[in-house]
A and B are shown apart, each in its own frame.
Chain A
Amino acid sequence: MRTPTMPDLLSYDFMRSAFIAAAIVAVVASQVGYFLVLRGQTFAGHALAHVGFTGATGAVLLGVTPLWGLVTLTVASGIGMGLAGERLAQRDVAIGLVLALALGLGLLFLHFFTAYATQATALLFGNVLSVDTATLWRLLAIGVVCLATLGVIARPLLFASLQPELAEARGVSPRLFGALFLAVVAAATAECAEIVGVLLVFALMVGPAATAQRLAGRVGAGLALAAALALAEAWGGIALAYYTDWPSSFWITALSAAAYLAASAAPMR
């Protein structure tokens, strides 16, 4: 039997689409994730992903593209969470309840739409190999909006994340920027869900960013490293899935966890 080579890997349309989609999402997720980890709000990000499940299944029920349902509901929840204040966005119990309720509601919506069991699996665990051209454009559009917004708020957000009291004293509203940021997180979460599913958003958003923060002492270097890691993990995951026929989401999570463990084990400078 002939081992597949790189040209093989890219000879199918769906593989090319998968690599492009993964690249867009990896870059967006890693940049958003860097700030998410810096702010200690990773759990909030996780909850937003679950809310996305409700949005997506609700959209399916209404006959709308799941991605839009995902984006609409996550962004609305993100802004709500942010406006409710930093404290709430970091409160484990409240977030955990929202998370469970969101999954439960999503399940209920699916119950009304029993024919779509595969759709549920795709939403929960992602299916990067089924990304079509229209989805690619949607991912690109959302990704550009995410990065542009993040670029505009990056400086005050970094300031408010590292020194909330000082930022407030200088006239930066931690609440306003917290809400704007969670809206960006929500949109990025919806993107991630397309690749790794709502349950595994951590793999692309938190994994690379947390790894990069363990290794890089500068903000710029950390952001660049997070992007490189996310890209390598997403592409590596898809390639490994192609060769092994195991799910790509599994490989991406495995690579993400492996990179973080390796970084943790590495001696600190």
Chain B
Amino acid sequence: MTPAVRLDDVALMLGGRAVLAGVNLEIRSGEFLGVFGPNGAGKTTLMRAILGLLPASRGRIAVLGAPARRGNEGIGYMPQSRANLPAARLRGFDFVAAMVRGHRLGLPLLDRAGRREVAWALDMVGAAPLARRPLADMSGGERQRLLLAQALIGRPRLLLLDEPLQNLDPHHQMAVVAVAKTLQVELGMTVLFSAHELNPLLGTMDRVLYLGGGQAAIGTVADVVTGPVLSRLYGSPIDVVHVQGRIFVMSGGLDMEREAHRHEHDRAHAHADHA
């Protein structure tokens, strides 16, 4: 079977810095892949490269059997959420509807098929009750659902979810993970799910991809999330501790993922205050 994504000796540069250097990997069709790594390790950059927004400076990227290119309708994408949403009074339905054939010129009018598509996408992520509510009245978890629904428009085969758990409480995190799993199982989509913490995705993801130091390691949790592999990627000694079915990635006694997550949180709050 053709892999969903295949990287052959790929290097990605971002502002003169090598984010990935000579990475080979294969993402299997239909798998749920958790994507992890420290801040700046290239999780978002990798997704942008798969979307064709960032050309590889070396090597080849194949997506769904063809070279990566911009505007690939086979890919659904959920970008990292921003603190301030525009058009706060816009209804959920209209927000998602803006996506339907959004790349075509003309008036943003929806035909019956378009309206059905939006209703289907909202339904798939359990966001049907949000259709008539304004964005401003939604919680973070509800907005994430809307963004997920948007990613489904056009019925892509590959879903790229960039940090969908950011700024969500554990309850909402579980709900978003469950929705993503449903999409994988029911629609047969390949899901790339980037996150800061491993634990919310344990038991849901089929394999993990860890990025760090320009390198990548892909495989099962047992193969990849180990002291030696992560120490190599992080470039510093890492301990992996298993506690009652949960996994903690520690560096010098600090829980690295929690730390990274906390910083993200602070930053998001700073943004919100600023806005």
Contact with A along B52-92 (1 / 0, CB 8 A): 11000000000000000011010101110000001101110
Bin the interface of chain B by size.
20 to 34
Q: Separation in Å of the B48 CB from the closest CB of chain A?
A: 8
Whether A158 contacts B91 by the Cβ 8 Å rule is no
Bound: A168/B150 CA distance, A: 14
Whether A38 contacts B86 by the Cβ 8 Å rule is yes
Bound: A38/B95 CA distance, A: 12
Whether A166 contacts B150 by the Cβ 8 Å rule is yes
Whether B132 contacts A154 by the Cβ 8 Å rule is no
Whether B104 contacts A214 by the Cβ 8 Å rule is no
Give the chain A neighbours of B87 by CB distance below 8 A: 38, 161-162, 213
Whether B150 contacts A163 by the Cβ 8 Å rule is yes
Bound: A167/B99 CA distance, A: 8
Known contacts A169-B70, A219-B108; A155/B102 CB under 8 A:
yes
**B residues in contact (CB < 8 Å) with A:** 51-53, 70-71, 73, 75, 77-79, 86-87, 89-91, 94-95, 98-99, 101-109, 132, 134, 136-137, 150-151
Whether A162 contacts B51 by the Cβ 8 Å rule is no
Known contacts A170-B71, A217-B91; A155/B53 CB under 8 A:
no
Q: Separation in Å of the B262 CB from the closest CB of chain A?
A: 25
Bound: A27/B78 CA distance, A: 36
Q: Is A153 an interface residue (CB 8 A)?
A: yes
Give the chain A neighbours of B137 by CB distance below 8 A: 268
Whether B94 contacts A155 by the Cβ 8 Å rule is no
Whether B86 contacts A172 by the Cβ 8 Å rule is no
Known contacts A162-B98, A165-B77, A166-B79; A154/B107 CB under 8 A:
yes
Task: List A residues 141-197 near B (Cβ within 8 Å).
Answer: 151-156, 158-163, 165-172
Q: Separation in Å of the A45 CB from the closest CB of chain B?
A: 15
Q: Separation in Å of the B9 CB from the closest CB of chain A?
A: 24
Q: How many chain-A residues does the 8 Å CB contact rule pick out?
A: 33
Contact with B along A208-221 (1 / 0, CB 8 A): 00000111111110
Give the chain B neighbours of A161 by CB distance below 8 A: 86-87
Given A154-B106, A219-B90, output 17 extra A-B contacts at Cβ < 8 Å: A38-B86, A38-B87, A151-B106, A155-B102, A155-B104, A155-B106, A155-B107, A158-B102, A159-B102, A161-B87, A162-B87, A165-B79, A167-B102, A168-B53, A169-B70, A170-B71, A217-B91
Question: Nearest chain-B residue to A167 (Cβ)?
Answer: B102
Q: Separation in Å of the A99 CB from the closest CB of chain B?
A: 23
Question: Nearest chain-B residue to A39 (Cβ)?
Answer: B86
Whether A215 contacts B89 by the Cβ 8 Å rule is yes
Give the chain B neighbours of A39 by CB distance below 8 A: 86
Give the chain B neighbours of A38 by CB distance below 8 A: 86-87
